[in-house]
Structure 1
Amino acid sequence: MRYRSAMTTKPFPFLIIDPATRRVSLDGRDPAFYRDPNPVYAALHAHCPTFWWEEQRQWTFTGYDAVNGLLRDRRFGRQILHIASREELGLPEPSPHLKNFDAAEAWSLLELEPPEHTRLRTLVNRAFVSRQIEKLTPEISALCHETIDRFEKDGRVELLSAFADILPVTMIARMIGIPDAMGPQLLKWSHAYVRMYMFGRTRADEDAADKAAAEFSDYVRGVIAERRENPRDDLLTHMIHTEHRGQLLTDDELVSTTIVLLNAGHEATVHQIGNAVRTILESGLDPARLFAEAKTTERTVEECLRISAPVHIFQRWALEDAEIDGVPLKRGDKVAMILAAANLDPKKFSDPLVFRPERDEGANLSFGAGIHFCIGAPLARLELNIALPILFRRLPGLRIAEKPVVKDVYHFHGLEALRLEW
């Protein structure tokens, strides 16, 4: 059936739902979808929260309980080739034109399962626990003020390039031990790199990602060599010199881990700063009240993460036969979980499409769950809890100057630009 939105009374021409067979046709590349996916997620919740996605050819889950459960279910994992061969699974051989990208991803925390995941995460985790991250509060605050100082007098700004891009990439680079001056180059590599994860990527996207991976890896190897000669008090030195059960990380493991930390440490937070500012300004609510104290600030940040998540989809391989929400899955099947849709499940959140900063109905899933819960979540949350109040206090009367345009990088969700004035 074609579903007509009860909210807009306009059809979604890119969406066909058949509740009887739990099959859905949804063009994830259609701007009408990725620019405003929440009404579509509402339609899926109403008619078919678990469905076979025709275009992606995989079972997809949007319900909060199903997504939360799958993220924690050890019968599902980020990798499958540690227990089955490509031939057995019918998977093609790696593409030669992606050899540098594949090499950079080979030891990524995002892609590994225990015991390798446990070993690598143990070495990194200490730097990202909340008590360590909270020590960065003065530095984050100072960087926010320094950045705003550069454009406050102008009366208008493109927020992503002038503020959102700068804060997260500078902080994660400093933690790892990368000079501030490398920030613009890190952003270029990262933007090319993550287009590998978007729907409908092209050969040009793949070539650009592979080139970025090669250059990124070469740069990191150079920094690793320098840190071996001249250790410092930074995360990279810690990873180089710390043993886990008598083992040191190899250079390949160090490269993959550093790249994933640099990418994940800023890409989603950049999107979320833009998403949150837009959400707050479009809500008509008074920012002074939203950020009046630590508790209201925290709840505002969490509600922004819930209703405008920066990362929408995670995928898992079935490592053994299983049944989820009545769907029989076989070993080697790949499933998708739409985190952003789970955050809008009406069974979990009342009036889920409404921005309500006072909401206290449980945790959102924007950072995932289980062993792959985002290691940088404490850092991202701290940055948002510091940056948003400072931004709105420093720029009273802040308002949107031009209608924002959403980037065409679903399953990430962020803006091309956010032009503001005050």
Structure 2
Amino acid sequence: MLQTFPSRPDYLSFDPAKRRVSLDPHEPRFVQNPYEAYAYLHAVAPTFFWEEYGFWCVSAYADVNRLFRDKRFGREKPGGYLAHVGTRDHLEAFDRLEAASLLELEPPVHTRLRGLVNRAFVSRQVERLRPRIEALSHSLIDAIEKEGKADLLPAFATPLPITIIAEMLGVPVEMGGQMLDWSHRMVAMYMHRPSRQVEADANRASAEFSDFIRDHARRRRSAEGDDLLSLLLAAQADGDRLSEDELVASAILLLNAGHEATVHQAGNAIRAILMQGGDASRFFATPQAGEATVEECLRFDAPLHMFTRWAKEPAEIAEGVSVEPGDKIALLLGAANRDPASFAEPHNFIPSRADQKNVSFGAGIHFCIGAPLARLELQIALRVLFERLPKLRLVEEPRFRDSYHFHGLETLRCAWD
């Protein structure tokens, strides 16, 4: 039988002999629907060299899942963070945070830092937040219900996770807007080839955010409580456990990671559910249905599409594709979650699917520390939203931001009157 492949998008070029792909990540059609390109690449080259980035990319679910756990690869380039970026005076504040960030480190430092904060994010601890998340979800709906319409990104998807993570850390919730601004300016650095202006702005945001955390920590030392910042301060008092740079970097990482991806996933999930038609509340008819729906949302339209790793030693990442120490590779989470080799009907939204799984939170030692919290926030917030606003509908087709590898909406304008 003649095998047929998905057609090649005309904005993508592919050299089959070298497995090299040219695809501008800012191409508007790719930004709005990366899954068309992913489907083609799954068929012709699940592992390919992305010219615009300059490294090998892996899109098959099984390979992404395996490489996340492969100890020959890590987040830290051999020689340390500065071996990767060098000396960059205009990014001194940003690099200082990154060099001490849990996300960029490997054992034994990673093990020590993760152990300090992990107990606050295990499922049994997160479950204690259920009443607060539910009450906050209702209060956000109370604030907009009579209006009959709203952009649900700033009105609902954003304030919930930033409020919860700020309360967990013990930083002023009223600073939420400012922390969001700092976060957005910093994560712009992770985009494809940021401009010098974006770099300078990210550095200013890093310096301002760091100063805020340092100042707040100094004032909190005399009034520590049972929040995460107090836990970090107690660890800093034992000098061999946490330096001041590690304290600041850990607090900022938790604040940024505690809302950035969750906001995108909430927006993507609301859009996906509303596009199914009918009574959206049916997806949350029981707790089990709600959990399955959230897992399908995480698979169907993930908030993070690329996660990079460094090779620590020579390794083969796919048949005929080898890398050397210091080479970077990318794991394409959004593509892996739509892999036809691992999912039946990968492009259909099926919460009841028997093959329910995803790599949206990663795997291995860098599995997202906030995954239990993000899942709980999504399960509660989405249920409350669709129960309280049963006539919820899109008033325009939402558009995705040009921000690969983060995948989230610009706006989410809805009505329910």
TM-score between the two structures when normalised by the length of structure 1: 0.94
Residue 85 of structure 1, CA deviation: 8.4
Are 2:353 and 1:364 aligned?
Answer: no
Per the alignment, residue 325 of structure 1 pairs with: 318
* Match runs of 1:183-222 below 5 Å: 183-222=176-215
In structure 2, the partner of 1:51 is 48
Whether contact under 8 Å (1:119, 1:244) holds in the other structure is: no
Structure 2 residue aligned with 1:26:
23
Contact 2:236 2:243 in 1 (8 A): no
Residue 373 to residue 211, structure 1, CA distance change in 2 (3 Å): same
Q: Does 1:70 align with 2:63?
A: no
Which sections of structure 2, spanning at least 5 residues, go unmatched? none
- Say whether 1:172 aligns with 2:165: yes
Is the CA contact 2:151–2:412 (under 8 Å) kept in the aligned structure 1? yes
Deviation at 1:248, TM superposition (A): 3.3
Please tell me whether the aligned partners of residues 137 and 381 of structure 2 are also in contact (alpha carbons under 8 angstroms).
yes
Q: Distance in 1 between matches of 2:411 and 2:327?
A: 37
Amino acid at match of 2:386: F
> Which residue of structure 1 aligns with residue 281 of structure 2?
288
Q: In the alignment, residue 345 of structure 1 is paired with which amino acid?
A: D
The partner residue of 2:95 within 99, 102, 110 is 102
CA deviation string 1:79-112 (max 9, x = no partner) = 12437984xxxx5622211001011112111100
Provide the C-alpha distance between the structure 1 equivalents of 2:336 and 2:200, rounded to a whole number of angstroms: 33
Cα pair distance change 1:421/1:112, threshold 3 Å: same
Provide, for residues 64-83 of structure 1, a one-character-per-residue CA deviation record: whole Å limited to 9, x for no partner: 11111111111001112437
Match of 1:338 in 2: 332
Indicate conservation of the 8 Å contact 1:318/1:334, yes or no. Answer: yes
| CA apart distance, 1:190 | 0.6
Q: What is the Cα-based RMSD across aligned positions, in Å?
A: 1.8
Aligned-pair CA distance for 1:245 = 9.0
Tell me whether 32-41 or 150-159 shows the greater mean CA deviation: 32-41
Q: SS in structure 1 opposite 2:351?
A: coil
Which position in structure 2 is the counterpart of 1:42?
Answer: 39
| Counterpart check, 1:411 vs 2:408 | no
Q: What secondary structure is seen at the aligned counterpart in 2 of 1:416?
A: coil
On the 8 A contact 1:189/1:216 being kept in 2, the answer is yes
Q: SS of the residue aligned with 2:102? A: coil
Moved more, 130-139 or 29-38: 29-38
Change beyond 3 A, Cα 1:58–1:225: same
Q: Do 1:240 and 1:248's aligned partners in 2 also have CA atoms closer than 8 Å?
A: no
Residues 244 and 319 (structure 1), Cα distance of their counterparts in 2 relative to 1, 3 Å cut: farther
| Count of aligned residue pairs for this structure pair | 412
Is 1:349 the counterpart of 2:346? The answer is no
Per-residue CA deviation, residues 362-381 of structure 1 (Å, 9 max, x unaligned), is 42000000000000000000
Distance verdict in 2 for CA 1:246–1:255, change over 3 Å: closer
Contact 1:127–1:133 (Cα < 8 Å) also in 2:
yes
Taking the TM superposition and a 5 Å limit, the aligned residue runs for 1:195-274 are 195-242=188-235, 247-274=240-267
Alignment partner of 1:145 is 2:134 = no
Deviation per residue, 1:203-238 (Å, 9 max, x gap): 111111101000000000011111212111211101
Q: Percent identity?
A: 54
Would the alpha carbon gap of residues 84 and 248 (structure 1) be closer, same or farther in structure 2, given more than 3 Å must change?
closer
Are the aligned partners of 2:75 and 2:106 in contact in 1 as well (CA < 8 Å)?
yes
Deviations 1:118-146 (A, max 9, x none): 00000000000000000000000000111
SS in 1 for 2:156: helix
Give the 3-state SS of the residue equivalent to 1:14 in structure 2. Answer: coil
TM-score, normalised with respect to structure 2: 0.95
Give 3-state SS (helix, strand or coil) of 1:17's partner: strand
Work out the CA distance in 2 between the residues paired with 1:395 and 1:232. Answer: 38
Partner of 2:390: 396
SS of the residue 1:415 aligns to: coil
Cα gap change, 1:362 to 1:403, in 2 (>3 Å): closer
Give the whole-Å Cα distance in 1 for the aligned partners of 2:325 and 2:192. 24
Give the counterpart letter for 1:183 in structure 2. Answer: G
Q: Structure 1 residues 122, 247: closer, same or farther in 2, change over 3 A?
A: same
Paired with 2:180 and 2:163, the residues of 1 have a C-alpha distance of 10
- In 2, Cα distance between equivalents of 1:252 and 1:334: 26
Query: Deviations 1:15-51 (Å, cap 9, x if unpaired)?
Result: 1123332111111111110111111111110111100
C-alpha separation in 2, matches of 1:291 and 1:243: 43
Mapped to 2, the partners of 1:124 and 1:359 lie a distance apart of: 34
More off after superposition, 291-300 vs 236-245: 236-245
